[in-house]
A and B are shown apart, each in its own frame.
Chain A
Amino acid sequence: MASSFPEEVLEHVFSFLISQKDRNAVSLVCRSWYEMERWCRKRIFVGNCYAVNPRVMSRRFPEVRAVYLKGKPHFADFNLVPDGWGGYVYPWIVEIARVYPWLEEIRLKRMVVSDECLEMIGKSFRSFKVLVLKACEGFSTDGLAAIAANCRNLRVLDLRECEVEELSGHWLSHFPDSFTSLECLNMACLSSEVSFSALERLVARSPNLKTLRLNRTIPLEKLSTLLQQAQQVVDFGAGSYSAEIRSDVYSSLADAFSRCKNLKSLSGFWDVTPAYLPAIFSVCSQLTSLNLSYATTQSPDLTKIVGQCYNLQRLVVLDYIEDTGLSTVSMTCKDLRELVVFPSDPYVADANVLLTEQGLVSVSQGCPKLHSVLYFCRRMSNSALISISQNRPNLTCFRLCIIEPRVPDYLTLEPLDAGFGSIVKNCKQLTRLSMSGLLTDRVFEYIGTHAKNLDMLSIAFAGDSDLGLHHVLSGCDNLRKLEIRDCPFGDKALLANASKLERMRSLWMSACFVSFGACKLLGQKMPGLNVEVIDERANVNSIPDYAPVEKVYIYRTVSGPRFDMPDFVRIMGKDKDGVNNLS
Chain B
Amino acid sequence: MDLINFEATELRLGLPGSTDEQPEIKSITSVVSTNKRSSSEMGSSISDENDSSRSSPPTKAQVVGWPPVRSYRRNILQGKKSDQSETGSGIYVKVSMDGAPYLRKVDLKMYKGYEELMKGLQGMFKCIIGLYSEMEGYKSEYAPTYEDKDGDWMLVGDVPWDMFLTSCRRLRIMKSCDVIES
Residue of B nearest to A547 (CB): B31
What number of A residues sit within 8 Å (CB to CB) of B? 71
What number of B residues sit within 8 Å (CB to CB) of A? 62
- Does B77 contact A345, Cβ atoms closer than 8 Å? yes
Is there a chain B Cβ closer than 8 Å to A199's Cβ?
Answer: no
- Does A492 contact B6, Cβ atoms closer than 8 Å? yes
Is there a chain A Cβ closer than 8 Å to B46's Cβ?
Answer: yes
Query: In the complex, A467 Cα to B74 Cα: how many Å?
Result: 36
- Does B11 contact A79, Cβ atoms closer than 8 Å? no
The minimal Cβ–Cβ distance linking A79 to chain B, given in whole angstroms, is 5
- Does A408 contact B55, Cβ atoms closer than 8 Å? yes
Query: In the complex, A538 Cα to B126 Cα: how many Å?
Result: 11
Chain A residues whose CB sits within 8 angstroms of the CB of B88 once the complex forms? 347
Q: Which of B20, B26, B70, B92 contacts A161 (CB 8 A)?
A: B70
Is there a chain B Cβ closer than 8 Å to A62's Cβ?
Answer: no
Chain A residues whose CB sits within 8 angstroms of the CB of B26 once the complex forms? 547
Q: Which of B28, B54, B87, B94 contacts A79 (CB 8 A)?
A: B87
- Does A346 contact B67, Cβ atoms closer than 8 Å? yes
- Does A376 contact B67, Cβ atoms closer than 8 Å? yes
Known: A294-B76, A345-B77, A404-B57. A461 touches B92 (CB 8 A): no
Prevailing SS type, chain A contact patch:
loop
- Does B105 contact A83, Cβ atoms closer than 8 Å? yes
- Does A486 contact B76, Cβ atoms closer than 8 Å? no
- Does A413 contact B69, Cβ atoms closer than 8 Å? no
Is there a chain A Cβ closer than 8 Å to B175's Cβ?
Answer: no
The minimal Cβ–Cβ distance linking A404 to chain B, given in whole angstroms, is 6
- Does B64 contact A406, Cβ atoms closer than 8 Å? no
- Does B67 contact A401, Cβ atoms closer than 8 Å? yes
Is there a chain B Cβ closer than 8 Å to A296's Cβ?
Answer: yes
Chain A residues whose CB sits within 8 angstroms of the CB of B92 once the complex forms? 79
Query: In the complex, A566 Cα to B103 Cα: how many Å?
Result: 11
Is there a chain B Cβ closer than 8 Å to A539's Cβ?
Answer: yes
Residue of A nearest to B89 (CB): A347
Residue of A nearest to B39 (CB): A537
Known A80-B41, A82-B104, A441-B1; further 11 A-B contacts with Cβ < 8 A: A80-B65, A83-B102, A296-B76, A401-B67, A413-B55, A486-B45, A492-B20, A496-B12, A511-B45, A525-B10, A539-B33
User: Which residues of A are at the interface with B, using a C-beta cutoff of 8 A?
Assistant: 75, 77-80, 82-84, 161, 189, 191, 270-271, 293-294, 296, 342-347, 349, 376, 401, 403-408, 413, 415, 434, 438, 441, 460-461, 465-467, 470, 485-486, 488, 490-492, 495-496, 498-499, 510-511, 513, 515, 517-518, 521-522, 525, 536-539, 543, 546-548, 550, 566
17 contacts between A and B (CB under 8 A): A75-B65, A77-B70, A78-B66, A80-B41, A161-B72, A343-B67, A344-B76, A344-B77, A404-B58, A405-B45, A495-B9, A495-B12, A496-B9, A511-B41, A521-B12, A547-B31, A550-B42
5 shortest interchain CB distances as A-B pairs: A78-B65, A538-B35, A496-B9, A495-B11, A84-B102
User: Which residues of B are at the interface with A, using a C-beta cutoff of 8 A?
Assistant: 1, 3-4, 6, 9-13, 20, 22-23, 25-28, 31-33, 35-38, 41-42, 45-46, 48-49, 52, 54-55, 57-58, 60, 62-74, 76-77, 79, 81, 85, 87-88, 92, 94, 102-105, 123
